[in-house]
Chains A and B, each alone.
Chain A
Amino acid sequence: MIVAEQKPLEEIKAMIAPYQRILVVGCGTCVTVCFAGGEKEVAILASSLRMASRIDGNPKQIDEAVVQRQCEWEFLDTIKDQVGSYDAILGLGCGVGTQAIAEHFPGVIALPGLNTSFMGLTVEAGVWAERCAACGSCILDKTGGICPIARCSKSLLNGPCGGSSGGKCEISKEVDCAWDMIVKRMKERGQLEKLLEINPPKDWSTARDGGPRRISREDLMLAREGELP
């Protein structure tokens, strides 16, 4: 899922400073699971901002709403009658969600309440870690199910580098060395010789390096006008 974190309260306060009536909009999907922007977090942030703005001597009207998924127009429609009554929307969805709000409600000011960080999973309650870098050409079959693009700090394809120590990456003891894990896993599977093959330079054109990506599926599109015979 997409993992995000709320921006610091000070930063959010500065962002909403010019506005008087604000709607905090949460999302019921990824950011609920990582406790950044779900219904509860919306309530907590809205209460915090109401109190802070009153204490700062400039009380703001801060209301709350949640949609199931901000990245689907139909779900955003559930708040379409509300957004017009506010000076700004403080989006507590991921970067996609906040942009969707801006795109779906032109004229509405959509502010990002979160810093969207990565695609990852829940390691344990309260801990999330990055797993996928969306490179567009998955090679998990070659690396024992461990992604070197996302999990190696240098995205090496023929690792590990000389900085691998005690199974940890040189940048931090909290980061596992992806290649140490890959070597161990391939060894367990009796497939270590596969790692002796040299992986050639990656085609990054399918990753973000190639430009903003888009996928179109003809088989899933709705019929258009003019398609009828």
Chain B
Amino acid sequence: MSDGSNGWKSGSTLERVLKGGSFVITAELGPPKNADAEVIRKKARFLKGYVEGANITDNQTAIVRMSSVAAGCIALSEGVEPIIQMTCRDRNRLAMQADLLGAYALGIRNVLCLSGDHQKFGNHPTAKNVYDVDSLQLVQIVKGLRDDKKFACGEEIKGVEPRFFVGAAENPFADPFEWRPLRLAKKARAGADFIQTQLVYNVEKFKTFMTMVRDLGLDRQLYILPGVGPLKSPGMTRYMKNEVPGLDVPDAILERMQKTPKEKWREEGIKICVEIIQQMREIPGVAGVHIMAIEWEEAVPEIVKQAGLYPRPQPPAQAPAG
């Protein structure tokens, strides 16, 4: 299995730190709804030094924003390694592969493959939806580009092939619950290297999920990074509990936020997040966490520090054998 990166699949910092066995931190960096590069740079500066990779969302909730690849490059220029996201909603397999070739040429090394929220939710609900391939097939395509040096049609890539560290998402709390670990197995089989999950507030339920995952041996095939996120207010907590499908926010957490005085909301939200991170570190099979501080990237350094995870480890230079 030859590759051009010293024995690594992609050589990204995320890959190297995970392989080295340290608990990783990734975070989200949301691109702006405009063409201003400075917005990305500002957000990147908050995250620099605190994360192994920053997810650059791709028209999240089907709302048009600066493209993930472009924003990813800007983040890279600020010293933050991007994990570009690619949804299946907006691009067909031609555009996806073209974007991947370009992204790699521009220095991007991590990609997260997602189905993508239906365009009905966003600001262009009348658009045609693409869904030429689904997220699992996209994972296979990205892996195929890297390991087989082949395009999705089977044609060989002549010259430099894009070598991405490929991730997928999973929602441990979506229905049908018993099927989720099996779907994760499918993603491992498709070639996913790492998984980021939807926000976890119900740690007990997540532990149940991880037990099923370990029973299938998936923790040894995939690096699993549960999503964690600081709450900003009781209102936000209630909204997430009641209005967002697939999010399980326990009553205890809502009550905790409700009992907190207004000036301490953010502080308490961060505290809860840090506690969850610490609980995650205790769960076997969890390789790190993915901090989703939407439009609150400034909270990330605080969270990382309070969780006792700063400074970040140096990524190993040499790929360990095997």
Which residues of A are interface residues toward B (Cβ below 8 A)? 153-167, 170-171, 177, 180, 183-184, 192, 195-196, 198-202, 204
Contacts and interface: CB of A to CB of B under 8 A. Distances in A.
B244 to A, nearest CB: 9
B89 to A, nearest CB: 7
Interface in B111-132: 115-118, 120-121, 129, 131-132
B132 A204 contact: yes
B99 to A, nearest CB: 16
A157 B134 contact: yes
A200 B137 contact: yes
Interface in B130-152: 131-137, 140-141, 152
Interface in B147-178: 152, 169-171, 174-176
Interface stretch (B64-72, B179-187, B304-312): B179-187
Contacts of B246: 162-165
Nearest to A155: B131
A36 to B, nearest CB: 23
Contacts of B133: 201-202
A198 B118 contact: no
Main secondary structure of the interface of A (DSSP, over half): loop
Chain B, interface size category, equals 35 or more
- Greatest chain A CB density within 10 A among B131, B140, B185 is at B131
B189 interface: yes
A196 B182 contact: yes
A202 B115 CA distance: 15
Given A153-B118, A163-B246, A164-B175, A158 B152 contact: no
Nearest to B152: A201
Contacts, number: 96
A132 B118 CA distance: 20
A170 B118 CA distance: 8
B176 A184 contact: yes
B286 interface: no
Interface of B: 88-89, 93, 115-118, 120-121, 129, 131-137, 140-141, 152, 169-171, 174-176, 179, 182-183, 185-186, 189-190, 198, 245-246
Nearest to A157: B134
A144 B93 CA distance: 27
A82 B108 CA distance: 68
A202 B134 CA distance: 10
A229 B131 CA distance: 53
Contacts of B152: 201
Contacts of A170: 117-118, 121, 245
Contacts of B132: 201-202, 204
17 contacts: A153-B118, A154-B88, A154-B115, A154-B118, A154-B134, A156-B115, A158-B137, A163-B117, A163-B118, A163-B245, A165-B174, A165-B246, A170-B118, A180-B175, A198-B189, A201-B93, A201-B133
A163 B114 CA distance: 12
A158 B188 CA distance: 13
A183 B176 contact: yes
Contacts of A196: 182, 185-186, 189
